[in-house]
Structures are given as structure tokens and as C-alpha cells.
Structure 1
Amino acid sequence: MDIVQEYEKFDYDLTNRGWQKEIASFKLTCSRTINQTPKVSIVIANYNNAAYLDRMMTSLVNQTIGIEQLQVMFIDDKSTDNSIDVIKPYLTNYPNIEMYVLDENTGGAHGPRNVGLVHARGEYLVILDADDWYDEDALKYMSDMLDASGDDFGVSGIIQSVDGKLSLKSKPYFIDGDFKNRSIQALPAEFYGWLGPQGIMVSRKVVIDNNLHFVNQRVADDVTFFYEAMRFSKTISQGKALTTYLNRDADNAGLSKAINRTFMISWLRALSYINDMFPDDISKERFLSRRIEWLIHDFCLKRNIGYKYSKNRLRDFKAHLDFYIGHLSFDPSRHFRNDFRKSVWQYLEKNNINGLYRFIFLFSVRWVLNKKLGMKTVVANTYYYPQLLSSLPQTRLDVYAVAKELSQNTLHLEVYSFKKLVGFECRQLKQPYLSRQELAYKKIAENCYQVQLPEGFVYETNQFAVTFDDYSESGVKGLKKLVK
């Protein structure tokens, strides 16, 4: 089967509305009161997420925009747990909730999501995973943002939660701050490090006008959908408010095992379609580069996934990369975030699988020597992982930062990196992003800085970070010893 036939088989073609004829059949149960002209439609695909549904639904019925302005579409993909029983009380107690129970399992989120697209009535549309949840002001914030800008696509801040520990998933949205009518050609490469459904709102008009839908495969359906929506929108609105919580609890750890050979092929097929469909420009270059880097991380470097690590896996990845992506008109590795991944790309470009396998093995040794024993090499103020063999590509440390002295609240430190330093920040560990504080600093010599710590800085309850222009950050060695 050639690539074009695959596009047809998996319903990629945006000129073909045949996907609508394949929509799953369902039984619909609704609240007593239903608004026929809601402001926002929420499409929730569910399969066996009963444990998370109360948290998700509570976040929706308490939205400050008002439940009267919403169309809550809970679409169950033939769950075998008690998901339906969890949702039934909400149908009784709240208006504007619609429960679609599919007659047969569709095998992925794309099936329920497409049911939602066909039956949505709102001016705006969001896709919410059943185990995620919103800040209570989220839908008002995002819809007000699009009302004010006239854009068809909006993004806002995403917090990832792993067993209650919070981290920022959408640094470009949060750090860059508020924008409206921002050209997608101006978006940084790191923007495309995440393009799942969380924290995104689109106009239903852009979906209808361009026949947007979720392709018929279990993974990469959402990233394709949202990238296409961005391309047709041309400009986006961006807000730094933290609106959406992404659940990655330990009991979701099985996600790593779902990263298998089918996952790899599905992703490469999706990138191939984007590459074929849209003209070469900076948006496509940055999108493809970041997604290719992500696949390199998963299928060349990671061990604990559902595709056993071996030379054969590397060869298979290279063969499918060539088949689906082929020759690119740009070098994606210039958007990669570290030397390690850039070196992997160079080995792949040369089709040197034996060399790549050896490089990855020896780098893992070098990584342990650096992280566990502190071994490193320094050449002209640049720090490298220990070399081991002269034939290996040199690999720079992303950052080497070390605290030297603390006088009252003035911290003296040295920072070495090939990245551009942006500044220094302090945060409370319990609220790392709501408490974010930029710190005053002076550069007193090459690689040497003075930073003013806040009064009452306590190492055990605060986080100190060096920040860089690629949205990455680093801690500082030796700080704990200096802070009493």
C-alpha cells in the first residue's frame, strides 16, 4: 500500500466527507433542559475513566461562564466500568449535559470525538480528555480571548499533574505571555513540543468550513487535527492563564507501553500527511522538527516502551522515517534541544545504524558518569560529557551552573551553556507557577553573575532556576550548602 492509499484508508483527506457516514451509532440521553445555541461545546471521549469523571465533571458544571452557556457532550466508547453510572446524576442535577453511549467500541478516541464534531452546536469547541479537568474560569477565559481577538484558534496554559506534583506543560504559552492575532509563522519551535487537545479552543466555523475531523487511527489524530486548525486559522490567540490540568498519575503509567511499533508508524503517517499537504514554511519546519525530535527520543533513545530496544528497532525506525518523510528541504536538527539528539539525527542521515547503536550505548555510560560521579570535560568555557573515545561526537552539557558564594541575599554563581541565558527565577514548590518571581541580577564577568535572592528564601520550600531562551531551565549545584 502506498502513502496516498494509506491517507484514504485512515480518512486523512480533507476534501472527502465520507468520514461522516462512518460515524458510530449511539444511544443519547440528555438533561431535561438543553440550550440549542451554546457558547462552547465540550467533546469528551471516554473509555473506562470512571475514577476520574467526578473531578472532570465538577470542573465543568462549576465553570464561571455558566453551565447555561455550555454543551457538555460526554461520549462513551462502550466502557466496561461504571462510567455511565457516574455521569447519570449530572444529567439529573444539571442542564445542558448530553450522554452519547456508542453501540460498539471504536478502538480509539477518534471515534467518539468525531461523533462530537458532528453534533456540536457551540460557537467554540474544546476537546477534553475524560481524565483531565479545567480550572473553573477556563472556558470563560478562552472564549473571551477569542471574542476579543476574532481569531479561530486559542491556546492557554497547561499544568501536568503526576500524583499531585505539578509541572508546566506549555512553557511557550505561559512564558511568552498574552498575544492576539499572532501569526503561526512567528511561533517558536518549542510551541510545537505539545499540541494535544488540552488548553486549546477553536471556532466551530473553522472546523466545519475545512471539513476538519479526527483521522481513523488510535494516536496522532489530535495533533493532526489541531495543526490543521492552526493552518487554516493562520493567526492564533495566546493566553498565559493556567486553564487546563493534564492527568499523568502513576496509574496512567501504561501509556509508555502503548508507545509501540503501530504508534511509531501512525505518527510518521500523520507527519507525512502534514508535510505533503501544506507548503514549506517556518511553521511547518518547526512543527515537523519538534515532532521528529520527539519520535527520535521515543524510538531511538528510550528503553521502557512497548517496542523492544535493539538494532532492529533502530533500522525499522530509519526505514519508516525514509518511507514517510523522505528528504526534507530543511535540517530539522537545528531545532533540536540538545547535542545528543542532533548526533542521533546525523547517524540516521548517514544510515549508520551500527554507529548509532554504539553511540547510544556509550552515551548512556557517559550520562551515568556525569550524573552520578560528576565527571565532565571543559574546553574553552564549554562543558562536555566525558568523552571516553575520541571517535565519538563531542556532546555538550546543556547547562553547568554552580553556586559559589552567598553574601546576605546576594548569590554569586557561574553559568556555562551554549544557550542564551534569559534570567533567574524563584518559585514556591507547592505553587511553582502561580508564585513565579523573576529575580534581579547582574552579569559581572563572562559566565559570572550576581543574583538577588528574595527575603526569607528557604531551600526546602523554594525552587531557584536559571532560565534560557529555548524555554528550558536548570537548577544550580551547591546552592543547598550555601542557604542555611
Structure 2
Amino acid sequence: MRSKISSVPKDYEVLNAKRLRRHVAVTVVIPVYNAIIYLERTINSVLVQTIGIRNVTIIAVDDKSTDGSRRLLRRLSSLYPQLVSILLKNNTGTPAMPRNLGLALARSKYVTFLDADDWLAHDGLRILNETMDRTGVDYAVGRTIQVSTNQPNRIIGVHESNRNRDHVSPYTLKHAFYHLGPRARMMRRDFLLRHAIQFPSMKFAEDKQFFIDVLIRTDAISTVTAPIYYLNRLEENDSLTKQTDIMEKMETNLIVLRRVLEYKLPVEKERLILNRLIEFDCITRLYDRKHFLKSHDPSAYHQMFARVVALFTQHRSYPIDSLIEKPFNRLLYHYWNTGRFDDFMDAVKWSKSKETKEIEWVDDQPYWSIPLGSGQKQMLALPLYVKVHELELTEKGLELTVQTLGDRRIRVEGISLQHRNWMEETHLLKTDVIDLENHYYRLQVELPKQMERGSYLVYLRFDDYGQQVMAISMEEPVIQKSHHTYRWYETIKGNLGLRIK
């Protein structure tokens, strides 16, 4: 199939051009700009893939780097014929154009994107390739693990990788349109070309628009639990995303919002996308961040949000606050909409404070108490709070009785464990759930016979991929509850934890 990707740079040098005549299983497209610190590790993570490098072509597109990345690409291309290096004559200022060029030049069944400062799990390409071959979908996604300095690794986009799913509609995942970076995703190349899906020429949000376009055009996707991609958030990494000013980001968010509104999708499908664009991008990322508190001109933020509201109301008649789900974000919108900007600022200060958020109980229901000016306070109901009332050891594992509180109603599914240091070590335990009265649940949990040593976070699992820590509400100290090498204990924050010797 001939490429229909039109938005590509025209003037460039190609190293290992002969490789582009060979049809392979997977093409990995890497946009490169001043990535010398991590670039070799990134490329090496593809070269050692268990799918076999004979089945892979790497297309690294350098956007006229000035830090030595080009010299490195020349050296590596001389060593590895599977690495096609594209050296652009002019800087495009966005990873969109290098990705589009890589997609246009690819000759493979599938394509995936890898940023020049990130890396792949050794088995990543093989797992996604086999998943797509087996299920026949146009799009598959796996687990992304974020690596940070002085912080434990964490899973990004839990909804994408909490279960192995074959051939499901993306709209069955409530948060399918969250976390739309290029990571851990593989797509059928002829699907992208047939629909002429390409990255728009924007400094920011180009990947968000691209993957929205992918998801709204595919009938089915597959998801896997295996680690596929490692996202680099180390302190020395000075990526383009970190350099982008929040107002620049919001300008591109407005472009994406306008485009989605103009698609005129069915309302229930559109609302899933707009929830992300309005609540996550235009409230959480705009306001509930330290950059808002440090700003010398908060009114500029409010003016920007006013543009968002005006754009939405120009195209839609239903209320914008119906797209806002989290209680704290709804509170911020209420303050903004009623002009209570001092209270708005106080609420964000409370949210970003490092102090432990104290819970107050009113009629046996949990509330946050948010301090406002003049000694006033705002009571805000917690969406979900879970108490452990009983814990008994059994031959197979344990039984525990939990109670769910708050203003959110959930479907309890079981217990999950996540190693505090290794995100790869995550377990969804086999659990029988007995629904008792008044939001009490009896859980019979079967523990795995073999698990890595160390401490684990213990979560109540609900609504497919929701999870919540569980507060201790027991007279007997949990630390005494032991079963072979398993030892249940109360964490510093008063929640249930597990330590394996």
C-alpha cells in the first residue's frame, strides 16, 4: 500500500536506505532531537528485542540535533544495518514531522513509536506483535512503567494494562482516552495509511490528537498486562514536554478540543473524550499544579479557562460541568463559575500541600476539610474510603471484611498486590466476593504460592481497574497476622500492607 501520509519533511539524508526495501514485521519509529544522553540505550533496547532484530526495522529521524546525536546515529547505523537513520536538513520544531516521515517510509505489517529518551522492555515487541497477530486488531497496548529519580517506579495508564483483553471496543475502557502518549502501543500500518492518520504539526498534544484519531476509527483493540515500555522521568532528562510552557500547552489543547467537537461523534462516545480534554487537561493540569500557585498572574489562567468554556458552549448545549467527575475538580469549577477566585486559590493550596489531608467524619461519612480565608472551611465528601474490619488467616490465604464509604458506588471485584519497588511485580488475586448489607463485603482471597520478597501495597480492586488502599479499623494489631512467609501489617499511614520474607 502506498503511503497517504502527506505531512512529512522533504529534504533529508538517509543512512541504510536499502533496509527500507525489506518488508518486516515491525517498524520502530524514533524521533530524535538532542537526545545524546539516552539515545544509545534507547536504540539498544530495540536491538536486543526477543522478537529478533531480523524482524524489525528501526527508523530514527533526527530533527537537526546540535548535541552529537547525529554523529552517534552515523556510528550506530554503520554497525547495524537494521537502523535506518534519517537526518533532516532543517529543524521542524516538533516530533510530529519526524514521526510522520518514519511512518511514511516504513515497510512493515505493524508500527510503533519510541521516544529517544525512553526504552523498551526486552519482550515488548514480541508480545504486542503476537497479540495483534492472534486477535487481528488494528491496535494493541501494554504496560508503561514510569522511571523517576528518588521515587518508586509507577504504572502509567493502569486501565490499559490491568487485564489481558482480546478484541474489545476502546469505549468499554472508561479512561481509554487518558494517557495518549506514543508509549507501549502498536498499530497496523495499513490501517493508519488507509485512514490517513498522521501527527498534526504542533509542539505539544500532537500525540494526543493522533491517538484520539486512531481510537475513534478502530472497532476493537487488545490490551496486555506485560511491561512493554519504560518512560524516562529522571531529573537529568530535559525533554520537550518539560520545556513547554503551560499556556503553550493550553493553546494546543484548544486545537484538539475544537477538532473533537467538530467530529460530531455520538454523545456517549464524545463524552469519554471530552472528560479527558476538559477535566484532565483544562482543570487538573491547568490548575491543580504548583505552576498555578507560583504564577504572578492567576487571572491569565482564568482567562484561558474562559476560552475553553466559550469554545465548548459554542458547540454544545449540555452543561460543561457534567463532564467533570472528581469532587475536587467540581469544587474548583464551582468556585470559578461563581467568581470565588480567592477560595479557588485556597483550595489549590490545600491540594498541593505536602501535609497529610485530615479526614473529618460527619454522620459516619468521610469528608475532607479544606481551610479557606477568614477561618472558613469547605467540607468535601470523599469519593471513596475503605475500612478493613476483620482479617482472618486461612489455609489458602485469608478472609477479610471491608466496608466502602463515600459518595461513589462501586462494584467490588477483589484484591490486588503491587510491590513497592518493582512495578513489574503486580498481582490480581483470585478472590471470592460476598456482598453483605450496608456496603460491607466479605472477601475470600487465595494467595499466590510464589512471590518476590519485599513489601507490597494492598488495594481493593473495583470497577475493572479502579483500586483503593484500605484503612485499618481493627482492635487486634494486624502486624501479628502471619501466614508462612506472608505478614500483614499496618502501614505508617494506617492502611493494610503485606510483607513477604
| CA distance in 1 between partners of 2:402 and 2:27 (Å) | 51
| CA distance in 2 between partners of 1:168 and 1:452 (Å) | 27
- 1:59 deviation in Å? 1.5
| CA distance in 1 between partners of 2:207 and 2:113 (Å) | 9
**Residue 376 of structure 1: aligned partner:** 360
Q: 2:125 aligns with which of 119, 131, 139?
A: 139
SS of residue in 2 equivalent to 1:325: helix
Q: 1:294 aligns with which of 243, 257, 280?
A: 280
Greater CA drift, 356-365 or 115-124 = 356-365
**Residue 161 of structure 1: aligned partner:** 147
Greater CA drift, 313-322 or 302-311 = 302-311
Q: 1:344 aligns with which of 321, 327, 332?
A: 332
Could you tell me whether the CA contact under 8 Å between 1:31 and 1:97 is conserved in 2? no
Q: Which runs of 5+ in 2 are unaligned?
A: 481-501
Q: 2:227 aligns with which of 237, 242, 254?
A: 242
SS of residue in 2 equivalent to 1:191: coil
Q: Deviations over 1:313-370 (max 9, x none)?
A: 333222320354334355565554420112333455x4x3x3244234146448869x
- The 1:281/1:448 distance shift into structure 2, 3 A limit, reads closer
**Residue 430 of structure 1: aligned partner:** 421
Q: Deviations over 1:409-452 (max 9, x none)?
A: 55555432324143322233233443314264655553445556
Between Structure 1 and Structure 2, which shows a larger proportion of helix residues? 1
**Residue 483 of structure 1: aligned partner:** 479
| CA distance in 1 between partners of 2:49 and 2:401 (Å) | 46
- 1:61 deviation in Å? 0.8
Could you tell me whether the CA contact under 8 Å between 2:94 and 2:203 is conserved in 1? yes
| CA distance in 1 between partners of 2:62 and 2:144 (Å) | 25
SS of residue in 1 equivalent to 2:127: helix
Could you tell me whether the CA contact under 8 Å between 1:173 and 1:239 is conserved in 2? yes
Q: Which amino acid aligns with 1:473?
A: Q
| CA distance in 1 between partners of 2:138 and 2:448 (Å) | 44
Q: Which runs of 5+ in 1 are unaligned?
A: 1-15
Could you tell me whether the CA contact under 8 Å between 1:78 and 1:105 is conserved in 2? yes
| CA distance in 2 between partners of 1:306 and 1:270 (Å) | 26
**Residue 84 of structure 1: aligned partner:** 70
- 1:24 deviation in Å? 4.6
Q: Deviations over 1:178-229 (max 9, x none)?
A: 221x233x33331212111111111221222222221111111111111112
- 1:152 deviation in Å? 1.8
**Residue 497 of structure 2: aligned partner:** none
| CA distance in 1 between partners of 2:5 and 2:130 (Å) | 31
Q: Which amino acid aligns with 2:465?
A: Y
Moved over 6 A (4+): 389-393, 455-460
| CA distance in 1 between partners of 2:297 and 2:460 (Å) | 37
1:117 matched to 2:108: no
**Residue 44 of structure 1: aligned partner:** 30
Q: Which amino acid aligns with 1:374?
A: E
Q: 1:415 aligns with which of 404, 413, 416?
A: 404
Greater CA drift, 308-317 or 71-80 = 308-317
| CA distance in 1 between partners of 2:357 and 2:264 (Å) | 48
**Residue 274 of structure 1: aligned partner:** 260
SS of residue in 2 equivalent to 1:198: coil
1:213 matched to 2:198: yes
**Residue 396 of structure 1: aligned partner:** 381
Could you tell me whether the CA contact under 8 Å between 2:400 and 2:443 is conserved in 1? yes
| CA distance in 1 between partners of 2:91 and 2:109 (Å) | 29
| CA distance in 1 between partners of 2:91 and 2:231 (Å) | 24
- 1:45 deviation in Å? 0.4
Could you tell me whether the CA contact under 8 Å between 1:427 and 1:464 is conserved in 2? yes
Q: Which amino acid aligns with 2:462?
A: F
- The 1:57/1:177 distance shift into structure 2, 3 A limit, reads same
Q: Deviations over 1:282-316 (max 9, x none)?
A: 32220121121112112122222698264413332
- 1:73 deviation in Å? 0.4
Greater CA drift, 338-347 or 44-53 = 338-347
SS of residue in 2 equivalent to 1:359: helix
Q: 1:319 aligns with which of 306, 317, 320?
A: 306
Could you tell me whether the CA contact under 8 Å between 1:187 and 1:283 is conserved in 2? no
Greater CA drift, 453-462 or 222-231 = 453-462
SS of residue in 2 equivalent to 1:125: strand
Identity %, equivalent residues: 21
1:61 matched to 2:24: no
| CA distance in 1 between partners of 2:127 and 2:161 (Å) | 14
Q: 1:98 aligns with which of 84, 105, 111?
A: 84
- For normalisation by structure 2, the TM-score amounts to 0.81
SS of residue in 1 equivalent to 2:117: coil
**Residue 8 of structure 1: aligned partner:** none
Q: How does 1:183-198 map to 2 (within 5 A)?
A: 183-184=169-170, 186-198=171-183
**Residue 493 of structure 2: aligned partner:** none
Q: Which amino acid aligns with 1:145?
A: T
**Residue 438 of structure 2: aligned partner:** 446
| CA distance in 2 between partners of 1:64 and 1:330 (Å) | 50
Could you tell me whether the CA contact under 8 Å between 2:290 and 2:352 is conserved in 1? no
Could you tell me whether the CA contact under 8 Å between 1:31 and 1:92 is conserved in 2? no
Could you tell me whether the CA contact under 8 Å between 1:59 and 1:135 is conserved in 2? yes
- The 1:118/1:432 distance shift into structure 2, 3 A limit, reads closer
- The 1:61/1:356 distance shift into structure 2, 3 A limit, reads same
Could you tell me whether the CA contact under 8 Å between 1:285 and 1:332 is conserved in 2? no
- 1:46 deviation in Å? 1.0
- The 1:383/1:212 distance shift into structure 2, 3 A limit, reads same
Could you tell me whether the CA contact under 8 Å between 1:289 and 1:333 is conserved in 2? no
**Residue 492 of structure 2: aligned partner:** none
| CA distance in 2 between partners of 1:32 and 1:211 (Å) | 25
- 1:258 deviation in Å? 2.2
- For normalisation by structure 1, the TM-score amounts to 0.83
